[in-house]
């Protein structure tokens, strides 16, 4: 694995232009001041109550996500490339979903294998031929991006179901503005605070044609025991919409209503943070107590918009990911602006042979895995872990893909020993409305707080940073 690209310092050891002021400031600020601000930020997060839980752990205690007080900075030209690539990619994802649940031209053309779609547990046959409001399936996408040099960004993963993390993007900015006003005064940082307004405008634009002039939007949460409940309540508050659980809604004559103290009120758009399986016990899992009986009938009648649409998981599966460059060319006739990480599909015998022979050099991932679980990082694994994954690959090759171990870029990070480089990724949020695509300049930068670690997921010890895009 080659040496990681340092986003702050060039190969000559001098600060890159976007980081010039930050480097100067870091040279001026005393280490004890930085450490004090770090502890102050942690105290603020505790007071606000920004926590998450990890499912499956014995204690399952609420945790704070570590927050790094040194921002990650992107120049306006770097962001321009990123935003154009993100918009292009999300357009292709939406075109693919329309096609998969419609004419299936991409399958007829032999570009994506049929069994990858029809035998995929996240494919929803209930959506076959189903018209969705305004032909848009993915209204809120979280696209995970990594950087390997000054000019090259790779998409690591597409999150097209119920992407999370935007509350951290907003809270990180608020904390930074409170703790480091002097650092903001030295930069022209593009705002992210308008994200709730942009999200609400997007959701309202997606209301069914039968909705009234001012559509009623609600956020559907699984409830207080969900690991992302803080984000659900935070966003509902910021958007000024009702936070509801399944029991707060009911369907009558093909229309969704919300129970209120003033009586039933029609619901036009549901920003749902409940997975497909639990949305409607009459259509999916009959044991679900999280959804709304009859919701799919209202959806299929075109009387309510579900955001994101049902069945979008077929676009962010890790095996489908490997076909994204071909998917993009098929629907848009364009070359991808953002690269895909080269991917070996273990379902293909030749690819499997290569992976088994080079497993010590590769990252092996479960096709349906998430959160950094079910993954092997070959160069950092011991012999026992490698042997276990060889066995898994031989038993179920279709369940895995493999990729080269990328040298993720590093950013200066405030850790206990001082300021040190740590690996980062970036999750920008792309909003696709009836009228246009909106992308706030920034996103959630996740950082691997442990020295040498490439795993940025919060469930595995990763932290977050504020992401600054410099205004020109």
Q: Fold for domain 209-303?
A: Rossmann fold (3.40.50)
Return the pLDDT at 418: 84
Domain boundaries, the chain: 17-208+304-338+406-469, 209-303, 342-404
The CA distance from 419 to 423, in Å, is 13
Q: What are phi and psi of 310, to 5 degrees?
A: -70, 140
Average pLDDT, the chain: 92
Q: 467: burial class by Cβ within 10 Å (0-12, 13-18, 19+)?
A: buried
Q: Would you say residue 13 has pLDDT above 90?
A: no
pLDDT digits (tens, 9 = 90+) for 305-322: 999 999 999 999 889 999
In the CATH scheme, what is the code of domain 342-404? 3.30.1490.270
> Distance between alpha carbon 78 and the CA centroid of its chain, in Å?
20
Q: In what order do the strands lie in the sheet with 344-345?
A: 344-345, 400-404, 362-366, 375-377
3-state secondary structure of 422: strand
Q: Would you say residue 11 has pLDDT above 90?
A: no
pLDDT digits (tens, 9 = 90+) for 362-388: 999 998 766 566 789 999 899 999 999
Residue with tokens 């497909």: 276
Cβ neighbours of residue 46 closer than 8 Å, sequence gap 6 or more: 64
- Give me the mean pLDDT over the 1-28 stretch: 90
DSSP state letter for 371: T
The CA distance from 314 to 332, in Å, is 19
Q: Is the pTM of this model over 0.75?
A: yes
* 143, containing H or E segment: strand 140-147
Please answer whether residues 328 and 95 qualify as being in contact, where contact means their C-beta atoms are separated by less than 8 angstroms: no
Please answer whether residues 74 and 467 qualify as being in contact, where contact means their C-beta atoms are separated by less than 8 angstroms: yes
CA dihedral 85, 308, 274, 198 (to 10 degrees): 70
Residue with tokens 């400031």: 25
Query: Which is nearest to 275 in space by CA: 227, 320, 319, 203?
Result: 227
């Amino acid at each position: 694995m080659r040496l990681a690209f340092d986003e702050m310092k060039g190969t000559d050891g001098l600060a890159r232009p976007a980081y010039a002021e930050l480097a100067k400031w870091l040279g001026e600020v005393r280490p004890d001041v930085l450490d004090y601000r770090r502890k102050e930020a942690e105290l603020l997060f505790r007071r606000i109550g920004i926590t998450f839980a990890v499912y499956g752990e014995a204690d399952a205690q609420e945790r704070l996500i570590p927050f790094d007080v040194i921002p990650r900075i992107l120049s306006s030209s770097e962001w321009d490339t990123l935003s154009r690539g993100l918009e292009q990619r999300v357009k292709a994802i939406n075109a693919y979903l329309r096609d998969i649940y419609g004419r299936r031209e991409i399958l007829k053309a032999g570009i994506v294998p049929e069994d990858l779609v029809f035998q995929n547990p996240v494919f929803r046959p209930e959506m076959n031929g189903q018209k969705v409001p305004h032909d848009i399936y993915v209204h809120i996408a979280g696209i995970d991006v990594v950087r390997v040099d000054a000019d090259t960004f790779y998409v690591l993963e597409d999150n097209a179901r119920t992407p999370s993390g935007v509350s951290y993007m907003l809270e990180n900015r608020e904390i930074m503005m409170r703790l480091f006003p002097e650092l903001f005064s030295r930069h022209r940082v593009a705002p992210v605070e308008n994200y709730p307004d942009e999200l609400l405008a997007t959701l309202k634009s997606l209301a069914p044609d039968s909705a009234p002039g001012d559509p009623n939007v609600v956020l559907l949460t699984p409830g207080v025991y969900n690991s992302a409940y803080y984000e659900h309540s935070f966003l509902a508050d910021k958007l000024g919409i009702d936070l509801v659980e399944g029991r707060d809604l009911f369907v009558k004559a093909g229309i969704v209503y919300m129970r209120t103290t003033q009586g039933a009120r029609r619901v036009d758009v549901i920003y749902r943070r409940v997975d497909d399986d639990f949305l409607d016990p009459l259509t999916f899992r009959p044991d679900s107590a999280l959804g709304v009986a009859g919701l799919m009938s209202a959806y299929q009648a075109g009387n309510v918009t579900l955001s994101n649409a049902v069945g979008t998981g077929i676009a962010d599966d890790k095996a489908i990911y490997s076909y994204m460059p071909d998917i993009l060319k098929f629907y848009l006739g364009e070359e991808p602006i953002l690269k895909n990480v080269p991917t070996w599909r273990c379902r293909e015998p030749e690819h499997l042979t290569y992976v088994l022979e080079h497993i010590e050099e590769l990252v092996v991932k479960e096709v349906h895995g998430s959160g950094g679980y079910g993954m092997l990082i070959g160069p950092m694994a011991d012999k026992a872990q490698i042997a276990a994954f060889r066995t898994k690959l031989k038993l179920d090759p279709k369940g895995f893909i493999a990729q080269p171990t990328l040298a993720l870029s590093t950013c200066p990070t405030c850790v206990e020993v001082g300021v040190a480089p740590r690996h980062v990724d970036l999750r920008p949020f792309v909003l696709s409305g009836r009228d246009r695509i909106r992308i706030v300049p920034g996103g959630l930068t996740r950082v691997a707080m442990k020295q040498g670690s490439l795993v940025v997921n919060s469930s595995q010890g990763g932290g977050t940073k504020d992401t600054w895009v410099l205004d020109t």
